[in-house]
Amino acid sequence: MISHDFVQQEVKTLCSSGALGRSNSYNRLLQYLADQYVSGKIPKQTKIATDVFGKDSNFDPNQESLVRVYIHNLRQKLETYYSQTDGPDGHRLKIPKGEYRLDVVPTKNSVKKKDPSHSVGQKRKIFVFASIALFVFCSALIFRPWQNNSTISEQVAAAPFWSNILTDQIPIVVVVGDYYIFGELDETLNIGRLIREFSINSAQDLSEFSLNSTEAANNYINLDLTYLPIATAFALKDILRIVYTSEKPIRITSMSELDGIDLRSNHILYIGYISGLDKLMKFVFASSSLTVGDTYDELMNLKTGEEYISGAGIPTGGQGNYHDYGLLSMFPGPSGNQFMVVAGARDEGLMHTAYSVTDLTHIEAIRKLFVDMGPDIAPALEILYEVTGFDRMSLNGTLVHSAQLDQQRIWDVQNSIQFMR
């Protein structure tokens, strides 16, 4: 029989190992589940919400995905940790699927230690089998069926943050956040599956990785292929309805094709996931009050410690709502140009953010934030929306964070020297 001391010691080992990430919330949650295990109790979602996350007695798990999201992520963190190491005494901690309790189970007879040079980042690997939104699909949405709403589009385009982009002579580059994928060969040397790995974002990255890994060199192949999340296509359609009110040159490109010349000589309008910001990531967060958490589904407020964790990537079976997050960031560029970032942790956050910059009511709320910041012609601002989602649909959104950005910090030498040549 496993002793209670084993459970508590294993929790201490896990928390001190860094396997649970930078957020102390996962440490608190694991310790709480361990205490409940030792006490022989099985906690409910509402009890976890009040005891661990400080929610009041009105917490409704059918409307709030907080506990479900944290339990899901903690379960994955435990699986990742024990995939790399054997548990002591032949046992390990586990959160059974569909449950909110901790358990102790035997480890497998042998856990193969993975050579890091032969691993393609198991923790962040995504296998892509279908539903690839190709860039061609987005291009098909660029026709102009919105001309019947041209009056509304022109009213939206008159908003200060839009007019700064649309009314001068600087060209516009619309950048969509794409993701590089490569192929894995099967035993017959045909493409067995497509792989998305967050640390490999180009053919050059794959080539460099293959130099250090015989497995990669023998099994992975560049297909010169990228994909887009499906929400990017719909957000792009909404944004272009406004952008095409301008008569200026407009070019649409992918993040993988963006270069330093584009950043200097064009207005940049990004549309996509936060994880797809790639080359723009350091600029967007250089002066931000927010930082990306352990995954791109998590954001943290550096000043308050508040965490914003998307539940959009967790299967719910159509049961219950969840929260996603959308990020709007606007700031002047280094050469009199403007940057606008319309992003989301997942689909729901992205689509709501795109709606917020193309809907007159939401634009008025943004305009008031600009007014409060002062008389600057092109102030720098970030906004975070909490979006309620259900079955991949955005139900509503609430502004939960806004802050002024420091242009000097965004374009300091350390941030810009590599990409502004």
Please name the helix (run of DSSP H) or strand (run of DSSP E) that holds residue 16, with its range, or none: helix 4-17
Residue 382 in any domain: the answer is: yes
pLDDT value for 17? 85
What spatial distance separates the first Cα and last Cα of the chain, rounded to whole Å?
Answer: 64
pLDDT at 239: 93
Check if the beta carbon of residue 217 is closer than 8 Å to that of residue 225. Answer: no
Q: Is residue 115 part of a domain?
A: no
In a domain? residue 351: yes
Asked if residue 192 belongs to a domain, the reply is: yes
HSE, side-chain direction, 13 A CA sphere, residue 402: 15
Range of the domain at 154: 137-177+229-416
User: Is residue 125 situated within a structural domain?
Assistant: no
Are residues 67 and 11 both part of a single domain?
yes
Whether residues 234 and 333 share a domain: the answer is yes
pLDDT string in tens for the chain (421-residue length): 567 788 888 889 888 888 887 778 888 999 999 999 888 888 888 899 889 888 888 887 766 778 888 888 888 888 888 887 777 778 889 998 888 899 888 886 544 444 433 434 433 444 443 344 444 444 444 445 445 467 788 888 888 889 889 999 999 999 999 998 998 888 787 888 898 887 788 888 888 888 777 776 778 888 888 888 989 989 999 999 999 998 888 999 999 888 888 888 899 999 999 999 988 999 999 999 999 987 889 999 999 989 899 988 776 555 567 889 999 999 999 888 999 999 999 999 999 999 999 998 889 888 888 777 665 545 789 999 999 987 667 778 999 999 999 888 888 855 554 555 5
User: How far is 366 from 362, CA to CA, in rounded Å?
Assistant: 7
Tell me: do 201 and 292 sit in the same domain. Answer: no
Query: What single string gives the DSSP state of each residue in 27-74?
Result: HHHHHHHHHHHHTT----HHHHHHHHH---TT--TTT--HHHHHHHHH
Q: Are 356 and 310 in contact (CB under 8 A)?
A: no
pTM (2 d.p.): 0.72
Residues 320 and 306 in one domain: yes
| Neighbouring residues of 60: CB distance < 8 A, sequence distance ≥ 6 | none
- Mark whether 275 and 291 lie in a shared domain: yes
Same domain, 144 and 276: yes
Q: Verify that 168 and 55 share a domain, yes or no.
A: no
Domain boundary pick from 92, 109, 126: 109
State whether the Cα torsion 213-216-218-223 is positive or negative: negative
What is the pLDDT at residue 318?
A: 54
Structural domains in the chain (count): 3
Indicate the Cα dihedral angle 17, 21, 22, 26, nearest 10°.
Answer: -100
Residue 127, by phi and psi: left (phi above 0), alpha (psi -120 to 50) or beta? beta
38 is a domain residue: yes
